[in-house]
């Protein structure tokens, strides 16, 4: 199987211009970064809505995400993967409406946590809430609009939740899992942990790995040797090496491509990734 590379180019809530001046924040900057990543080997681009001046989460994410998807699709054939995060201060009913509307932006994939987790960034207060009824509702919205969920898994219990909901036909097959190895409140980013998790999956499922900071590239390399896929980008890591900030997400894509070449693993084009993931059925 060829390697699918996802570029998480915008960063989630913790990554902003106060941390690095290089994180893209405007529609033009994010589109330009997507094009650069596509040109060097990425097949998927993962998107969060950013406030243009600060890079912090945008207070009205849906129109901004729609603008990203529109421009990226005009200039590339990348698979757009839009977050279901953001807007978490809204009531449950308002949040449901926001996500249902977000499914109408034209993207092919959306990420969705398969459970609730304690927040993994300082000051570690509160939880990122996704209970089973919410997951089921949002999966229904995605199914209605032909969008494939990327199931974000932060601990082993979430693998079991994915299996449970799969048995109830909540998700269309084959399921795609992303192991988010945040450490602290979730998976420890170690080869032993990843091997255990992969062995727990159904054989027909596809899977990918993202890991934070200095563990990003090593865990992606382990994933490649196990037949998995990779996610890299400023959402998870803002450094090229110790003390040197990334100037573009494409630098990380180039490193993953070089690792794949050294391991004799072919990199998937966006259309090849669509076939692997079962998109566009």
- 204-233 pLDDT, tens digit each: 999 999 999 999 999 999 999 999 999 999
- The string of pLDDT tens digits covering residues 126-179 is 888 899 999 999 999 999 999 999 999 999 999 999 999 999 999 999 999 999
- Does the pTM surpass 0.85? The reply is yes
CATH number for the domain that contains residue 242: 3.20.20.70
Q: Kindly state the tokens that stand for 128.
A: 């990122």
- For the chain, how far is it from start to end, CA to CA, in angstroms? 19
What is the structure's pLDDT at 34? Answer: 98
Q: Cα(195)–Cα(46) distance, rounded to whole angstroms?
A: 25
Model pLDDT for residues 11-20, shown as the tens digit of each residue:
887 899 999 9
Question: By the 8 A CB rule, do 181 and 219 touch?
Answer: yes
Instruction: Flag whether pLDDT at 71 surpasses 80.
Output: yes
Total domains present in the chain: 1
* pLDDT confidence band for 281 (50 / 70 / 90): low
Q: 3-state DSSP call for residue 110?
A: strand
pLDDT in tens, 225-250: 999 999 999 999 999 999 999 999 99
> pLDDT value at position 194?
98
Confidence of residue 196 (pLDDT cuts 50, 70, 90): very high
**How many Cβ atoms from other residues are within 10 Å of residue 137's Cβ?**
14
**For residues 24 and 65, is the Cβ–Cβ distance under 8 A?**
no
| Whole-angstrom Cα Rg for the chain | 17
pLDDT at 86: 56
Look at 260 and 119; give whichever has higher pLDDT.
260
Q: Does residue 87 carry a pLDDT above 80? A: no
Res 183: pLDDT: 86
Q: How many CB atoms lie within 10 A of CB 218?
A: 14
Give the model's pLDDT for residue 191.
97
Q: Report pLDDT digits (tens) over 95-127.
A: 999 999 999 999 999 999 999 988 877 777 888
Q: Could you tell me the residue range of the domain that residue 266 belongs to?
A: 5-277
């Amino acid at each position: 199987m060829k390697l699918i590379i996802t570029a998480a180019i915008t960063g989630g809530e913790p990554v902003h211009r106060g941390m690095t001046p290089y994180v893209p924040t405007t529609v033009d900057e994010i589109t330009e970064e997507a094009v650069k990543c596509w040109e060097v080997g990425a097949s998927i681009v993962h998107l969060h809505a950013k406030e243009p001046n600060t890079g912090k989460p945008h207070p009205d994410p849906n129109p901004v995400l729609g603008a990203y998807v529109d421009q990226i699709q005009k200039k590339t054939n990348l698979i757009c993967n839009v977050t279901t995060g953001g807007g978490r201060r809204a009531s449950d009913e308002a949040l449901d409406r926001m996500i249902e509307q977000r499914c109408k932006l034209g993207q092919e994939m959306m990420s969705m946590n398969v459970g609730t987790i304690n927040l993994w960034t300082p000051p570690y207060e509160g939880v990122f809430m996704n209970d089973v009824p919410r997951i089921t509702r949002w999966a229904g919205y995605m199914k209605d609009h032909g969008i494939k969920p990327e199931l974000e898994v932060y601990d082993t219990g979430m693998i079991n939740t994915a299996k449970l909901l799969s048995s109830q036909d909540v998700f269309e097959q084959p399921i795609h899992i992303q192991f988010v190895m945040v450490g602290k409140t979730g998976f420890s980013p170690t080869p032993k942990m990843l091997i255990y998790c992969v062995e727990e999956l159904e054989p027909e499922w596809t899977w990918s790995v993202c890991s934070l900071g200095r563990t990003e590239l090593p865990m992606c390399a382990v994933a490649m040797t196990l037949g998995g896929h990779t996610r890299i980008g400023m959402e998870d890591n803002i450094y090229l090496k110790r003390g040197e900030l990334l100037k573009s997400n494409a630098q990380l894509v180039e490193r993953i491509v070089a690792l794949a070449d050294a391991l004799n693993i072919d990199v998937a084009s966006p259309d090849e990734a669509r076939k692997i993931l079962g998109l566009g059925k």
